[in-house]
A and B are shown apart, each in its own frame.
Chain A
């Protein structure tokens, strides 16, 4: 798959109170942005388990995004801080597993930042295009 026609497949875990609403705002404000990001809604960015991230990469994701409320705004007070800590440690381990740090991204998008969500999606997609496919296991689904 040549670079230009390569469409990266991205998975985004969005927190229900800020990022998901922000994405919704982007939609209702008729903002257009790269469709590559497939969204999974979770109650709080703190809910995102590192296993989900690994699972996403395993299933063929070229990039995984976690998006939560700005620090201090979390509906559950501290959920996003936990996400921040896990993101830092997990990105270090992913590098050890051969997965570039850029493929795993953490963003703060509040309910009012529709255009920030748009920008994040476009940027992430372009970056993944440049980086090329992860094809973790030679592009094949894993055996057995």
Chain B
């Protein structure tokens, strides 16, 4: 690596921070949880998770938390995911497809407004913060 100057340092810091910030468990603007119970996986939750992963990568944003959780209980409408913007009630989406996921990510996670046609309903049982 060539000799660093102070602003090189800052640049590296920015780049590396995106990765390590994840570990600090800081506060996030949005939290997306893909429900990957056994049946969820069987219903294709993996593809949904990958879709979310790709979207997250392109968006280059660092304040979105993508995580997974166990079965959400509604097996028939798998695969499902919950999007919870800070300060708003979590919205659960059902019968997801990759295409739908992209739309939800752009409109809701990034855009901030709920995509009614795919949503199951507002609110959900208690999620451990």
Q: Within the complex, are A and B direct neighbours (CB within 8 Å)?
A: no
